[in-house]
Amino acid sequence: MTKYNGVTMEKLKTIDELNILRERLKEETFKPDTPRIRVCSGTACTASGTPKLVTAIEEETGKKGLKVEVVKTGCQGFCQKGPVLKVEPQDIFYQKVKPEHVRWLINYTVIGGMPYRQGLYRDSFLTDPVPDVADIPFYKKQVRIALRNNGLIDPLNINQYIAVGGYSALAKALSSMTPEQVLDEVDKANLRGRGGAGFPAGKKWRHTKKAQGKIKFVIANGDEGDPGAFMDRSVMEGDPHSLIEGMLLCAYAIGAEYGMIYVRHEYPLAVKNLGIAIKQAEKFGMLGKNILGSGFNFTLDIREGAGAFVCGESTALIASIEGERGFPRPRPPRLSEPGGGAWGYPSNLNNIESYACVPPIIEKGADWFRSIGTENSPGTKVFALTGKVVNTGLVEVPMGITLREIIYDIGGGIMGGKKFKAIQTGGPSGGCIPEGLIDTPVDFDTLTKVGSMMGSGGMVVMDEDNCMVDVAKYFLSFCQSESCGKCPPCRIGTYQMLQILERITSGKGEEGDIERLEKIGKDIKQTALCGLGQAAPNPVLTTIRYFREEYEEHIHDKYCRAKVCSGLGMFRIENDECILCGLCKQACAFDAVKETSRSFLIDQDYCTKCKACYLACPVGAVKVEKKQHVTRDA
Find the mean pLDDT for residues 260-268: 93
Residues 251 and 337 in one domain: yes
Say if 144 falls within a structural domain: no
Single out the residue in 97, 117, 135 at which a domain terminates: 135
> Does residue 388 contact residue 466 with C-beta atoms inside 8 Å?
yes
Q: Convert the pLDDT of each residue in 270-285 to its tens digit.
A: 999 999 999 999 999 9
Supply the pLDDT for residue 566.
82
Residue 632 confidence class, pLDDT cut points 50, 70, 90? very low
Supply the pLDDT for residue 633.
46
Name the nearest CA neighbour of 354 among 460, 159, 203. Answer: 203
CA distance 11 to 125: 54
Q: Convert the pLDDT of each residue in 606-626 to its tens digit.
A: 998 888 999 999 999 999 888
3-state helix/strand/coil string of 378-441: ECEEEEEEEECECCCEEEEEECCCEHHHHHHHHCCCEHHHCCEEEEEECHHHCEEEEHHHCCCE
Say if 149 falls within a structural domain: no
Task: Return the minimum-mean-pLDDT range out of 27-36, 433-442, 489-498.
Answer: 27-36
Local structure of 114: helix, strand or coil: coil
Residues 246 and 307 in one domain: yes
Strand 299-305, strand 593-595: pairing:
unpaired
Q: CA torsion, points 581, 585, 588, 593, in degrees to nearest 10? A: 130
Say if 631 falls within a structural domain: no
Residue 630 confidence class, pLDDT cut points 50, 70, 90? very low
Q: Is the dihedral of CA 404, 197, 535, 506 positive or negative?
A: positive
Residues 47 and 188 in one domain: no
Residues 458 and 478 in one domain: no
- The domain of 121 spans 31-135
Say if 315 falls within a structural domain: yes
594, amino acid identity: K
Reply yes or no on whether the pLDDT at 631 is more than 50.
no
Residues 527 and 599 in one domain: no
Residue 458 confidence class, pLDDT cut points 50, 70, 90? confident
**What is each CA distance from 262 to 61, 303, 354, in whole angstroms?**
40, 5, 14
Say if 196 falls within a structural domain: yes
Find the mean pLDDT for residues 36-59: 94
Supply the pLDDT for residue 47.
92
Supply the pLDDT for residue 428.
86
Find the mean pLDDT for residues 287-298: 95
Name the more confident of 264 and 9. 264
Task: Return the minimum-mean-pLDDT range out of 10-14, 99-103, 392-396, 573-577.
Answer: 10-14
Residues 432 and 530 in one domain: no
Single out the residue in 370, 401, 429 at which a domain terminates: 370
Reply yes or no on whether the pLDDT at 126 is more than 90.
no
Ordered alpha helix ranges (H), 65-105:
102-105
| Residue 386: CATH number of its domain | 3.10.20.600
Residues 212 and 328 in one domain: yes
Reply yes or no on whether the pLDDT at 227 is more than 80.
no
Supply the pLDDT for residue 82.
87
Find the mean pLDDT for residues 339-351: 95
Say if 204 falls within a structural domain: yes
Q: What are phi and psi of 278, to 5 degrees?
A: -65, -45
Reply yes or no on whether the pLDDT at 28 is more than 70.
yes
> Does residue 217 contact residue 344 with C-beta atoms inside 8 Å?
no
Residues 453 and 476 in one domain: no
Reply yes or no on whether the pLDDT at 40 is more than 50.
yes
Say if 155 falls within a structural domain: no
What's the Rg (C-alpha) of the chain? 27
Q: Write the CB contacts of 343 (distance below 8 Å, at least 6 apart in sequence).
A: 322
pTM recorded for the entire structure: 0.91
Residues 417 and 505 in one domain: no
Q: Convert the pLDDT of each residue in 187-220 to its tens digit.
A: 999 999 988 778 999 999 999 999 998 999 999 9
Mean pLDDT, rounded, of the chain = 92
Say if 143 falls within a structural domain: no
Reply yes or no on whether the pLDDT at 394 is more than 60.
yes
| Residue 522: CATH number of its domain | 1.20.1440.230
Residue 4 confidence class, pLDDT cut points 50, 70, 90? low
Residues 610 and 517 in one domain: no
Domain tally, the chain: 5
395 Cα distance to chain centroid: 9
Angle at 407 between CA 405 and CA 410, to 5 degrees: 65
Single out the residue in 85, 116, 135 at which a domain terminates: 135
| Residue 195: CATH number of its domain | 3.40.50.11540
Q: Convert the pLDDT of each residue in 471-520 to its tens digit.
A: 999 999 999 998 898 999 999 999 999 999 999 999 899 999 999 999 99
Find the mean pLDDT for residues 85-110: 94
Residues 127 and 215 in one domain: no
CA distance 472 to 478: 10
Strand 393-398, strand 380-387: pairing:
antiparallel
Give the CA diameter of the chain. Answer: 93
Q: Write the CB contacts of 401 (distance below 8 Å, at least 6 apart in sequence).
A: 141, 441, 442
Residue 83 confidence class, pLDDT cut points 50, 70, 90? very high
> Does residue 25 contact residue 159 with C-beta atoms inside 8 Å?
yes
> Does residue 82 contact residue 69 with C-beta atoms inside 8 Å?
no
Residues 462 and 474 in one domain: no
